[in-house]
């Protein structure tokens, strides 16, 4: 029962990580600039929303890493 709970948390955090990473804005110099993804100097500053998005992404990544390690130890 506990293993299934870890699997559910693992899948939800993986999907959440994909969504959160896609929400981040491009920093420039990559493929996003080639296709017109550059916003300019006006929106290049770090806002409160971006910092909170960074914090949430790091938190979900830590949860993902911990559940991965826990599942590895439980399934051995």
Count CB neighbours of 76 within 10 A. 5
Question: 1-15, 32-46, 56-70 — which is least confidently predicted?
Answer: 32-46
Structural domain includes residue 34 = no
Interval 37-56: pLDDT, tens: 555 545 555 688 888 999 99
* Domain range for 15: 1-19+48-76
Structural domain includes residue 41 = no
As a whole number of angstroms, the distance between CA 68 and CA 49 comes to 28
pLDDT category, 33, cuts 50, 70, 90?
Answer: low
Structural domain includes residue 52 = yes
Q: How much is the average pLDDT of 16-20?
A: 95
DSSP letter at 57 equals: H
Structural domain includes residue 26 = no
pTM: 0.74
Place of tokens 């920093």: 27
Q: Note the pLDDT of residue 5.
A: 95
pLDDT category, 24, cuts 50, 70, 90?
Answer: confident
Total domains, the chain? 1
């Amino acid at each position: 029962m506990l293993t299934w709970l870890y699997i559910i948390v693992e899948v939800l955090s993986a999907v959440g990580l994909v969504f959160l990473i896609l929400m981040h804005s491009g920093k420039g110099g990559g493929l996003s600039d080639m296709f017109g993804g550059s916003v300019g100097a006006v929106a290049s500053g770090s806002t409160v929303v971006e910092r909170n998005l960074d914090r949430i992404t790091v938190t979900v990544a830590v949860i993902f890493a911990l559940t991965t390690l826990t599942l590895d130890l439980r399934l051995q």
